């Protein structure tokens, strides 16, 4: 079985080194290289396109969001965003997920080396999950775009389940993991106003869930 090729894009030399060391420990992953910014990364990709990319958000010359949008427009590729565990980082991460990123890894502002080493198994799992992500439904980015709501007559169909005697309320439960953020946006934007309450379980770092919930709330009626 071919190994998953990974390109790391982060302006921190420490982060690039730690991520490379962690990923190289897994025999199923091949680190193609590490770039300090998107410009260097794009040149490296001319030699060989990676299966998965790990991309920082704040970088010199070009930020990670702009780079992500360009990659998705050119050749959709699974991207794992590595973002700071701050309020600003959470907001930026939501932009990245909307632009096509399939997974998020949080990193603290201090002690990042130890933090990443402790979360090595999570990082490797994120890369492998990203490699399996289905990007067929990634939307080309357009400035100030939102999820198209479409006619309400095209609402997502929810399987009907008859409630037990004595119950009067219905709840729809949705579970999503890697690559599921865009699917959730599409589903919520198309659900009719009369839909029952929703319970959503999404695999995401705790620091980012509030921002993601707020974004989903703006898409539904």
Neighbours of 11 (CB within 10 A): 16
Q: So what's the pLDDT on residue 86?
A: 54
Question: Tokens 């600003």 sit at which residue?
Answer: 88
Looking at the chain, the domain(s) classified CATH 3.40.50.2300 span: 4-131
Q: What is the DSSP string of 148-176?
A: ----GGGPPP----PPPTT----EEEEEE
CB-CB contact of 187 with 156 (8 Å): yes
- The residue count of the chain comes to 221
Q: So what's the pLDDT on residue 27?
A: 96
135-169 confidence digits (pLDDT tens): 655 554 433 344 444 444 344 454 555 556 655 57
Q: So what's the pLDDT on residue 34?
A: 97
Q: So what's the pLDDT on residue 160?
A: 53
98-110 confidence digits (pLDDT tens): 888 888 887 766 6
Highest-confidence range of 11-20, 142-151, 212-221, by mean pLDDT? Answer: 11-20
Q: Is 4-131 a CATH 3.30.450.40 domain? A: no
31-89 confidence digits (pLDDT tens): 999 999 999 999 999 999 999 999 998 898 999 999 999 999 999 999 999 877 555 66
For the ranges 22-31, 37-46, 208-217, which has the lowest average pLDDT? 208-217
Cα–Cα–Cα angle for 66, 131, 41, nearest 5°?
40
Neighbours of 82 (CB within 10 A): 28
110-127 confidence digits (pLDDT tens): 677 887 878 888 889 989
């Amino acid at each position: 079985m071919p190994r998953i090729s990974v390109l790391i894009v982060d302006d921190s030399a420490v982060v690039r080194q730690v991520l490379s060391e962690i990923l190289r420990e897994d025999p199923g992953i091949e680190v193609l290289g590490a770039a300090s910014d998107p410009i260097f990364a794009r040149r490296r990709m001319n030699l060989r396109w990676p299966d998965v990319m790990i991309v920082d958000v704040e970088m010199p010359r070009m930020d990670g969001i702009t780079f992500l949008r360009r990659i998705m427009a050119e050749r959709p590729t699974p991207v794992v965003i590595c973002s700071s565990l701050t309020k600003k980082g959470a907001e930026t991460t939501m932009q990245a997920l909307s632009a096509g990123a399939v997974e998020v890894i949080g990193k603290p502002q201090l002690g990042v080396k130890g933090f990443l080493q402790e979360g090595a198994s999570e990082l490797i799992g994120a890369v492998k999950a990203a490699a399996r992500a289905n990007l067929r439904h990634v939307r080309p980015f357009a400035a100030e775009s939102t999820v198209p709501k479409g006619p309400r007559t095209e609402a997502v169909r929810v399987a009907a389940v008859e409630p037990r005697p004595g119950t009067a309320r219905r709840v729809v439960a949705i579970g999503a993991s890697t690559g599921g953020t865009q699917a959730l946006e599409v589903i919520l934007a198309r659900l009719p106003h009369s839909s029952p309450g929703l319970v959503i379980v999404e695999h995401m770092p705790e620091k980012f869930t509030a921002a993601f919930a707020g974004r989903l709330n703006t898409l539904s009626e």
